[in-house]
Amino acid sequence: MDNQHVLIIDDEPDIRDLLVMTLERMGLRVTAAADLVQARRALGANDFSFCLTDMRLPDGNGLDLVQQIGRDHPDLPVAVITAHGRVEDAVQALKLGAFDFVSKPVDLGMLRKLVNTALRLRADDSTPEQDDDFDAANAPAPIVEPDGELSRLIGNSQAMNRCRQMIRKLARSQAPVLISGASGSGKELAARLIHDLGPRIDGPFIPVNCGAIPTELMESEFFGHKKGSFTGADANKEGLFQAADGGTLLLDEVADLPLHMQVKLLRAIQEKAVRPIGAREEIGVDVRILSATHKALKPLVEEGKFRSDLYFRLNVIELHMPSLAERPDDIPALATHFLKNITAEWDTQAPAISPDAMDALQQHDFSGNVRELINILQRAVTMSEGGAIDPDDLMLEQFDDLHDGANGHANGDAPLPGLDADQSLDTYMEDIEKQMLEEALKKARYNKTRAAEQLGISFRSLRYKLKKYGID
């Protein structure tokens, strides 16, 4: 690290000396400044790899320096030192483009981790950013070539280009990100890309569905527990925060968190530490928090169902993942991509999608977005004959009926026959596919080769599906 040069700004000599000593022991070259004037002079005379500034300085606010660095030195990661408990300062700094923050009294172990993460980012970042404003929702999106990791986001619509642009920026920060969007729009994929394109790529990526954990087990799942701390705690258990240490924790469906867990989660995020059940002391954790939801959080805050302080802590920057309705021009590329994946997995010949079928897909109302598109293509591959998928093979009428039934428009206000009111689209379509397989086997008198021929799929594909649904 001898070639890495760090700038430290703090007006308290004891703290400044401690920071300098700590970073020099890491093999870094350090320049120290006591105020904004000295800091700006140093920035003009040197090429720094990292900057750490206090918020309260004799001649101004450290946030002013954060803004200046973002404008004049966009590739320089800058972190801020905030007073203990001043969450508002930390959030404001992150919104202005700060890489991360530490609170007083400074935990030197956490500081070293922060500095190492920032230096990895600087070492990997060879492409300067042209725009440092995170709020790009209304800005024209330049064409971003979908190469490398970003090629996993398929399509080149204006909406998808804007997503790529935002993800590249978000990967350079440690700010919490709230990823919003309808079910099936790719929120977890976006979170993985933010992780994979950032300096934490060598650390774990831990996704957790907050709505899938029983309420009584949440604290143990998130923070861990000590052996004997409660009935059934037969051994020490590591929580999700500890498992994600050095990496990223994705809180999927964060709106489903009960209020008592929201309080505990807020403290863990603010203090960067957790206390396992039964433990006497907190454990420091270095985790980047990403969250995702298909529900609008602000109305939940207004209704008192989601804490406002947690909302503002998670929603430092929002990334909206567009639905298929917002990017219909991407449907042909998506359909072609997923069709190749499906037929490769089923070991069958990939049929072509006829122009009429593709037109029908582009006009379809995808309430389930990409997930629904995959289900439709799986059905179409099963039903198609002659090497081409026609509109009838898509069976979109059934999906339209499903949408109407789910919205109370089929048979008055009743859902479709055989469809539970709370049943998901995925489960419903899997039930239909399972029923088709069972009927084909009965008609073929349980001759699997003949059943595969009737369904128009390969024997290997049939065998895979039978195993998937547990059909003997």
* pLDDT on residue 321: 95
Of 230, 207, 310, 224, nearest to 262 by C-alpha is 310
Q: Rounded to a whole number, what is the largest CA-CA distance in the chain?
A: 87
Mean pLDDT of the chain: 85
pLDDT over threshold 70, residue 400: no
pLDDT over threshold 50, residue 138: no
**Helix 369-383 crosses helix 396-406 at what angle (to 10 degrees)?**
140
Token duo for residue 423:
């049943």
Compute how many other C-beta atoms are within 10 angstroms of the C-beta atom of residue 471.
12
pLDDT over threshold 70, residue 120: yes
Superfamily of 5-124 according to CATH: Response regulator (3.40.50.2300)
* pLDDT on residue 453: 78
* pLDDT on residue 34: 95
Peptide bond into 214 cis (omega under 30): no
Mean pLDDT, rounded, for 438-450: 83
pLDDT over threshold 90, residue 149: no
What is the C-alpha separation between 202 and 246, in angstroms, rounded?
8
Mean pLDDT, rounded, for 233-256: 94
What is the C-alpha separation between 77 and 174, in angstroms, rounded?
10
What is the C-alpha separation between 210 and 249, in angstroms, rounded?
12
Tell me the CATH number for domain 148-322. Answer: 3.40.50.300
Query: Please, where in the chain does CATH 1.10.8.60 lie?
Result: 325-468
3-state secondary structure the chain: CCCCEEEEECCCHHHHHHHHHHHHCCCCEEEEECCHHHHHHHHHHCCCCEEEEECEECCEEHHHHHHHHHHHCCCCCEEEEECCCCHHHHHHHHHCCCCEEEECCCCHHHHHHHHHHHHHHHHHCCCCCCCCCCCCCCCCCCCCCCCHHHHHCCCCCHHHHHHHHHHHHHHCCCCCEEEECCCCCCHHHHHHHHHHCCCCCCCCEEEEEHHHCCHHHHHHHHHCECCCCCCCCCCCECCHHHHCCCCEEEEECHHHCCHHHHHHHHHHHHHCEECCECCCCCEECCCEEEEEECCCHHHHHHCCCCCHHHHHHHCCEEEECCCHHHCHHHHHHHHHHHHHHHHHHHCCCCCEECHHHHHHHHHCCCCCHHHHHHHHHHHHHHHCECCEECHHHHCHHHHHHHHHHHCCCCCCCCCCCCCCCCCCHHHHHHHHHHHHHHHHHHHCCCCHHHHHHHHCCCHHHHHHHHHHCCCC
* pLDDT on residue 436: 84
Tell me the CATH number for domain 325-468. Answer: 1.10.8.60
What is the C-alpha separation between 270 and 113, in angstroms, rounded?
16
- Percentage of the chain exceeding pLDDT 70: 86
* pLDDT on residue 334: 95
pLDDT band at 271 (very low <50, low <70, confident <90, very high): confident
* pLDDT on residue 428: 64
The radius of gyration computed from the CA coordinates of the chain, to the nearest angstrom, equals 26
Query: Please, where in the chain does CATH 3.40.50.2300 lie?
Result: 5-124
Q: Report the predicted TM-score, pTM, of the whole model to 2 decimal places.
A: 0.74
Of 160, 177, 201, nearest to 252 by C-alpha is 177
Query: Please, where in the chain does CATH 3.40.50.300 lie?
Result: 148-322
* pLDDT on residue 399: 53
Residue 471, φ and ψ in degrees, nearest 5: -90, 120
Lowest mean pLDDT among 264-278, 346-360, 386-400: 386-400
Q: How do residues 150-209 score in pLDDT, each as one tens digit?
A: 888 999 999 999 999 999 989 988 889 999 999 889 999 999 999 999 999 999 999 999
**Helix 355-363 crosses helix 369-383 at what angle (to 10 degrees)?**
150
* pLDDT on residue 130: 40
Distances 399 to 13, 134, 351 between C-alpha atoms, Å: 68, 38, 21
Mean pLDDT, rounded, for 99-118: 89
* pLDDT on residue 409: 44
CB 114 within 8 A of CB 78: no
Distances 358 to 153, 158, 342, 361 between C-alpha atoms, Å: 20, 20, 17, 5
Mean pLDDT, rounded, for 280-304: 94
* pLDDT on residue 295: 92
Token duo for residue 428:
């419903």
pLDDT over threshold 90, residue 441: no
Which class for 456: exposed (0-12), middle (13-18), buried (19 or more C-beta within 10 A)?
Answer: middle
pLDDT band at 387 (very low <50, low <70, confident <90, very high): confident
